[in-house]
Structure 1
Amino acid sequence: MTATTTTTGPEPSASPDLSKPVGDPPLLEVRNLTVTYGGTVPAVRGADLRVEAGQKLGIAGESGCGKSTLALALLRLLPATAKLTGEILLDGEDVLTMKWGRLRAVRWAGASIVFQGAMHSLNAVHRVGDQIAEPILLHNAKATPAAARRRAGELLEQVGLPAARAQAYPHELSGGQRQRVMIAMALACDPRLIIADEPTTALDVMIQAQILRLIEQLVADQDVGLIMISHDLAVLADTCDRLSVMYAGRVVEEGPARQVYAEARHPYGRALSAAFPRIGDLASRRAPRGLPGDPPDPAALPGGCTFHPRCPVALDSCATEDQELREAGGERRAACVLVDTPATDDSRNTA
């Protein structure tokens, strides 16, 4: 069943004809999700995602491509001005049709989110241990305050912080420590899915590496699904199993993470990959290349393929003909008219 909804009241609508997966349903399946602000501004346009238990899915793209809007939409955390259509199936149950009580039960317990910017996500006037204990008390009627505080200490130790730091206020912790607190909070109710929105933003390289390894280990140990959102294609390729690249609110490429990073089939994916330095004798001689321009304003999207004004290999038809995701070999798909043409070294160099 497909739902058309705002944050205040879902209304059913017609469902697209999509083939059903064989066997057990995935942990999360997003079908043709759209998010529109103010009734006219499309922030997410027909996104499809699939995450299995124990799988790590990366979502990449520049700022303004719709990544954070997509993350918040998965748990209906967007403002009332946002209109959502499509399906968000969590363990086979559509988040968009859930009543408020059911939705509240699913948040943190079924799926949790590590918000972008830990300092702004934590309450500055409450100790971090109390903030971790709060969802435990909300979702477990049998939990006592003392038991919730003990569990908060255990979670802090699980993410590499002393249990005694539960008594600290957010401003008393470093950026890396605050991010660990956010991860501990996301694990508090043993969710099956964790959504991490830019979990290493503003962290130095060493702390970033520690946080990424921590997330990987937690996913492996607890067999949870992970969606990690970042503009950094290299980080996602190193951390995730699969990778979806977003541009102007749409997924324009998807496939095994390392393959997409090493040899993207969409010009935008190639441009993102080329923006990061490679370590190695030959690669180190080539400086990273930037991509001119910015993502389009969602309120004034160009016609045809939305990437064509910035695309170094665009054809005349790209200005008038939009492109849907199509098979690109193996388990990969890309939304480009040239996807059937093998990418050459020259075309990658110009992206």
Structure 2
Amino acid sequence: MDPKSSYKFTFLLLLSLFLHSKVADGTSSVYFIDNPSHRYFRSPSSDASSKISSLSLSDVGATVSILLGFAPPATLSSASSSKLNEVLVPNPFDRPGSVLILEVTGAEGVAFEALRSNVVNENRADIQLPDADKVSLFSLDEPKTDAEHSEKELSEFASWLSGSYVNGELTIPLEDDANLKFQLSKEADRDFVTSLVSLTHKIQRAMEKHQDLSGAVHHPSELISGKFDGLKALKEQYGAEGVVEGAKLFSIVMSKMFDSLTEAYKGQIVGVIVCNETPSVAEPLFDVVFTSQPSARWLEETQTSPNSTAVEEVILVRRTVAWITGLLLIIATLLGIYFLLNMPLTRDTLLYSNVKLD
């Protein structure tokens, strides 16, 4: 093989490996779940895909910030702003103020009736928020408890979905008269189902926290965030085909769970579900970052710090005038009270005399 052919072969080999790695990375998508009676997102298109322009993770993070009622990051580009206009209803004074953002790994087959977009692969992105006092954060990433593995909890979970749990088999009916069945005697099925049960419990606790916050004078924005890895066990055990039934059950559970959220939040909440078809790293895709700015008073003190002596002199003069004025008012008040108490009881000749004017 001559050198020219060898270089060409090497180039084609590297190109094929590059394309293969891109395919192996899988694709990611994001679903924007809205309130049907009060829309915060633009209506999905009439075609089956209901997709918009591809978004980056940074665009998704900026969308979450805006939905919480805050200004978009200053670093947002004009191209990203145009993409966000395709997602959000153009009314800056009408935002839900509460967002559930959930990252789902190994999510082949997960689908919702909602506005959808592809997500450009990125390592991580920030959700930039102002002062922490203005936002209430609730994490869904706490570990499962032993109670969520109990037979009672599994039976209640099945009843909630109008299904049954008998002899270790979970059966969930579908609209087409078919059934989803999971054998919880198998470790992969049990890990997946108990992860779903744990997720519903955590979302219910978020709703309870919302009830406590709703009575506050200054109600903060609420961000519920987390990551769901339950489908990973099914994929490792059964492959991509085994994830299909799990994805269907996850979609049913989240749709039903979001109905409960909409009722608890009186419609002022939306969902952002990021689906990644391949298992990701342990760290979440999104990181909440607070970008609080110093107050105007702090800036004013910093600017006048070089002339601190002059400021102290002005403060001393003002305090001296205030004390002297206060003392004079006190003395005048005491003298007035003294003379009033010691007035003679006789008629005042000026007040009671008949004065005739010519």
Scaled by the length of structure 2, what TM-score is found? 0.26
Q: Pick the structure with more helix per residue.
A: 2
Bigger RCO of structures 1 and 2 (CA < 8 A, at least 6 apart)? 2
Whichever of the two has the greater Rg, that structure is: 2
